[in-house]
Amino acid sequence: MTVLVTGSRGAVARTLVRLLRERGLAVRTGSSRPGDPDTVHCDLTDPSTFAAALKGVTSVFLYAERSGIRAFAEEAQAAGVEHVVLLSSSAVLAPDAKDSPLAASHLDVEEALNASGLYSTCLRPGSFAGNALAWSGNIRTDRPISLPFPGSHSDPIHEADVAEAALSVITDPHRGGRPYTLTGPESLTFAEQIGILSRAIGRSVPLRQVTREEWKQETAEYIPAGFADSLLDWWQSNDGSPVELTRAVQELTGRPARTFATWARDHADDFRG
């Protein structure tokens, strides 16, 4: 078995590569910006990079990029790929997924894989615990975190749990061929997450509640308006409402998902000035 891991600079992919190598499996890392000679050029927006990256590959861990997915599926079939494990999103389950910038790109990739006839497994994490890293700059410099809905719930999942779930279906393809909705073990508000981070780093983290428009202005340089509105609508819909949790991580890995407190301890240095 040779496994191509795309998006190899990402947190999930890095962990998955380590786990696969610990199992003694052949791993090919792919990136749009390969930084070392052991990583192949695999730009998911550029079909000219697909054939070489897929040569001799039996399984693929695929990041969701809609622009080149049909060409990627065709090249994967031509290369004899037996299993594609897609890192999708639970956002595809929303009733308005086709109209949401957050969900539509993942949904398009899932549908293209299904239409291709490739054997595939969709992993659908909810909210990554790593999203909290967006607060790290403020926390390191003692600036308040601006939030329009501090009471909004999410299901933060540790990137290691997603990687271990991917390892499970890659090494046992009989578990694949179906979607899995992955969540952390707790439904937590943003305010609760910040409290957990405060305890992990040993100092309080200030929080400032802002309006939707104030938050959009603060984040305009790096979050397009359409995505910002989708995020805000999602947060507002979960304001004060715990989200539904699943046991998919335990089903695939044999143990409960890691808590956000565990993630915070693992990443405490990212928040220290």
Q: How far apart are CA 8 and CA 180, in angstroms?
A: 22
- The amino acid present at 163, given as its one-letter code, is A
Return the CATH number at 46.
3.40.50.720
Q: How far apart are CA 82 and CA 113, in angstroms?
A: 13
pLDDT in tens, 121-132: 999 999 999 999
pLDDT in tens, 54-81: 999 999 999 999 999 999 999 999 999 9
User: In this structure, is residue 191 part of a structural domain?
Assistant: yes
User: In this structure, is residue 95 part of a structural domain?
Assistant: yes
DSSP letter assigned to residue 177: S
For residues 77 and 131, state if they share a domain.
no
For residues 134 and 204, state if they share a domain.
yes
Is a pLDDT exceeding 80 seen at residue 33? yes
For residues 92 and 8, state if they share a domain.
yes
For residues 119 and 6, state if they share a domain.
yes
Q: How far apart are CA 268 and CA 271, in angstroms?
A: 6
For residues 101 and 89, state if they share a domain.
yes
Domain count, the chain: 2
- pTM, 2 dp: 0.96
Range of the domain at 89: 2-125
What angle separates helix 101-116 from helix 69-79, to the nearest 10 degrees?
30
**Are the C-beta atoms of 89 and 124 separated by less than 8 Å?**
yes
Q: For the chain, what is the mean pLDDT? A: 96
pLDDT > 90: percent of the chain: 96
Q: 104: pLDDT confidence band, cut at 50, 70 and 90?
A: very high
For residues 190 and 117, state if they share a domain.
no
Is a pLDDT exceeding 80 seen at residue 176? yes
Q: 101: pLDDT confidence band, cut at 50, 70 and 90?
A: confident
Give the residue from 62, 70, 56, 50 showing the smallest Cα distance to 7: 62
For residues 142 and 237, state if they share a domain.
yes
For residues 146 and 47, state if they share a domain.
no
